[in-house]
Amino acid sequence: MEKYSKKMDRRKKLVEKSIRISLQTIAYTFFFSLLCFPDYIGFRFGIAWNLQRIIIVIALIWILRNNIRANQLLHTIGNHKGNWLILLYLSVCFLTMVVRKDLGSFMRPMMDYVMTYYLTLYFLKYEIKMDSFFRFFILCVWICGIFGILEAIFKFNVFSIFPTIEGLGGSGIERDAAYRICVNGRHPLGYGLYLLLAFPLVCFNQKQRTMDILNNPILEILILVNVFCTGSRSTLGLALFEIVLVLIFSRYEQIKKAMVVLLPLILAMCLSLILFSNSELVHKLYVKLVVMFDGAFNTNYAGKWLNYNSLNLEGSSNYRYYLPKIFTLPDLNPFLGLGIGHNFHTTIEGIEIQSIDNFYVSQYIKYAYPGLFTLSLFLFSKIKDLLISLFTSRDDIFKVFFIGLLVYFINLWFVDDLETLKLIFMIFGVLTHRRESHI
């Protein structure tokens, strides 16, 4: 009998170990689907099913079939202090779904945002250590960065070989006879948002827990080249702003070391730009930088200095000027949004508005003021927690995420989130776990 009992104990341990390893694999696949795999690949069955949503369903089934794990997940969700904010936001989404008869208006925030947040908390608490998560994050950035270079060279997105969900975009586009890479984003601007979130993290030294602009120079350069290849003015400008912020928030030792290396490089680059000013590559770089400046300050130095005029760029800047006026449109109900399935278009002062390149305006159209307010309330609560940790902890990870989030939300005034908001919910899950594990 004792022999049989020991044999059963060994078998039980083997089963538990295999479950743990299997769930850990699911956890890594979940983070891979967020950080590396496009969300436009999949099929439609009621709603759009991509890898991330499929993995969420598999993970929930795998967790809930085991009583211990089910209790762990329920404990993780039940003890979360911000649940009332999440419920408030989801109630607005649910009401929009019912009134507008639009299933996606509730299922998208529930699956892509809320479940991403809770599962990130759960996986980091029970399955993956923080250091392992950061290493995996960096690995995914490497993969996307290399794919970005290949796409720029061959003008072919490797993810385009997979079946795509109709109407969700994907693959690169051309503007002014130049190819703009997309990699894992629905649009080059979406991939740009991803790169802006990734760059500060690449500058984080995990061993020393400090921010260092020279922490991973090859990958940092790879990201900046990818930023350039997206062809996005806002992304390029904010990437340069991020570099400045990383230097400002770094400690004195890192700043001193960076200046010793960067100043000679900057001088050498300036000299090279002068010497090779007639080359096509340098001319393109000049155009990018000057056009970026023109877009930010409403000037036209690209046309005056470089004889460069783009109706697309001019129209893009003028178009964005009219978007905030949507808040004042009498045709929109300020208390009930149109939902995500409605193809919104209108005319403002003779300008036809079809693409909503402003996240805050887009949220207003979809969920009206209640949705915009409740979502903002949750985001602000997490940013408040981040700021508290930033000033009370010597761990620079909070500075890293602060820079990434600051730049991200600035950029959302110029672009829609392009389905990158789930990355923000993942990051908030990481920060919440980090903060709670140090209380």
Q: Using pLDDT thresholds of 50, 70 and 90, give the confidence band for residue 335.
A: very high
Are β-strands 204-205 and 351-353 bridged in parallel, bridged antiparallel, or unpaired?
unpaired
Beta carbons of 185 and 235 less than 8 angstroms apart = no
Place of tokens 């002014």: 176
Q: Model pTM?
A: 0.88
Q: Using pLDDT thresholds of 50, 70 and 90, give the confidence band for residue 438.
A: low
Query: Which burial class, exposed, middle or buried, applies to 132 when counting CB atoms under 10 A from its CB (0-12, 13-18, 19+)?
Result: middle
Beta carbons of 162 and 41 less than 8 angstroms apart = yes
- pLDDT(70) > 80: yes
pLDDT tens figures, 218-266: 999 999 999 988 988 889 889 999 999 999 998 888 888 888 877 887 7
Beta-strand (E) ranges in 235-392? Answer: 346-348, 351-353
Question: Which helix (H) or strand (E) covers residue 402, if one does?
Answer: helix 397-411
- Helices 421-436, 115-126: inter-axial angle, 10-degree rounding: 40
Task: Report the alpha-carbon distance of residue 11 to residue 25 in Å, rounded.
Answer: 21
Q: Using pLDDT thresholds of 50, 70 and 90, give the confidence band for residue 303.
A: low
Place of tokens 């760029």: 313
Task: Report the alpha-carbon distance of residue 284 to residue 303 in Å, rounded.
Answer: 14
* 149-153, 172-176, 247-251, 301-305: range with lowest mean pLDDT: 301-305
Mean pLDDT of the chain: 86
Beta carbons of 147 and 155 less than 8 angstroms apart = no
Amino acid at 10: R
Beta carbons of 196 and 210 less than 8 angstroms apart = no
Rounded (10°) CA dihedral 102, 103, 105, 107: 180
Beta carbons of 107 and 161 less than 8 angstroms apart = no
| Between 178 and 165, the higher pLDDT residue | 165
pLDDT (0 to 100) of residue 311: 47
